[in-house]
Amino acid sequence: MKIGHVDTGNLTVFAPLAGITNLPMRLLAKRAGCGLVCSEMISSNGLVYNSAKTVQLLDSVPAEKPLSVQIFGADPEIMADAARIVQAAGADILDINFGCSVKKILKSHSGSALMRDPSLAERIIAAVRRAITIPLTIKIRSGWDASGAQALAIARLAQDGGVDAVAVHPRTATQGFAGHADWRIIAAVKKALSIPVIGNGDVNTAADALRMLKETGCDGVMVGRAAIGNPMIFRQILAALDGRAASPVTDDQRIALMVAYVQDSVRYLGEETASRMMRSRLCWFVKGMRDASQFRSSIRFIASQAEAMELIRRYARSIDAPAVVESF
């Protein structure tokens, strides 16, 4: 899939997920074959006013390229300034969030609020497009009702404004993640546009990805929540696209993913921050595994990398994953 001049390598995309798709998580997805990874949602105000925590979200390494960085905001000039910062930091693609429906974001007239203000949306897109030379994308929802009319209107407006691709999550702003994604809206947007359209929503397996491609004609498949703790879904999708059976993820692979996630988190975020994060995030990788509840209880007070590794080692032994245990 090509977005502007950027070749993503394949048609899989890891969705931007607030508080989740940081650098260590994106690296796991890339190692599993994901074509394009996306940063978590970043405040344009935070970038422009040089918030240290916000600017840190731009940290990247060559191994995750190409990288899309998503920003949100409601002021066209601040969004343009933030886009310049993102481009200068080395991002390959700039994405604007039109889909977040969290109350705090909506109160600032950002995210999904832009879908019911086409005039402001158009000004933001125009300002950002003038500010950068890298490809520009947007991620939208169905809108504020189930018809998909707002999605079509914003998508057409975006294409006319020089946007290079549109990602569509066909749930309404009020749905959040409840109910089902209406893939018919992805198909309608694809039919209406000449730029790439990326489908998102309810892709939980490789079979879902194939079905979305067939039913909607979309150019790329974006996976979000299903990749949390199981980035191997990208490898499974690529296998299915090649006509090969999508192998189930083994316990050994899940242990190896946890080890890599701990190591990368310490390397890029620092041991203290990483250790606190591991108390909840390592749970993602053991969902459905044997003795998972005991492991979840054991990691609640992780205070160091060494402690995290020892707890993973003990768990690996308890589920008979000796090959992985001996590898770290």
Q: Residues 37-81: pLDDT tens digits? A: 999 999 999 999 999 999 999 999 999 999 999 999 999 999 999
Cβ–Cβ under 8 Å, residues 189 and 195 = no
The predicted pLDDT at position 176 comes to 78
The predicted pLDDT at position 179 comes to 85
Residues in the chain, pLDDT under 50: none
Fold entry, domain 2-241: TIM Barrel (3.20.20)
Cα 113 to Cα 186: distance, rounded to the nearest angstrom: 20
Cβ–Cβ under 8 Å, residues 264 and 63 = no
The predicted pLDDT at position 247 comes to 87
May I ask the CATH class of domain 251-325? mainly alpha
The predicted pLDDT at position 69 comes to 98
The predicted pLDDT at position 304 comes to 97
- Token pair 């039919």: residue: 191
Cβ–Cβ under 8 Å, residues 254 and 289 = yes
Q: Residues 77-103: pLDDT tens digits? A: 999 999 999 999 999 999 999 999 999
- Per domain, the residue ranges of the chain are 2-241, 251-325
The predicted pLDDT at position 177 comes to 80
Any residues with CB less than 8 A from the CB of 127 and at least 6 apart, and which? Answer: 76, 77, 79, 80
Report CA-CA distances (Å) from 30 to 24, 179, 194: 10, 29, 28
Cβ–Cβ under 8 Å, residues 121 and 154 = yes
Q: Which residues are catalytically annotated? A: 100
Neighbours of 320 (CB within 10 A): 11
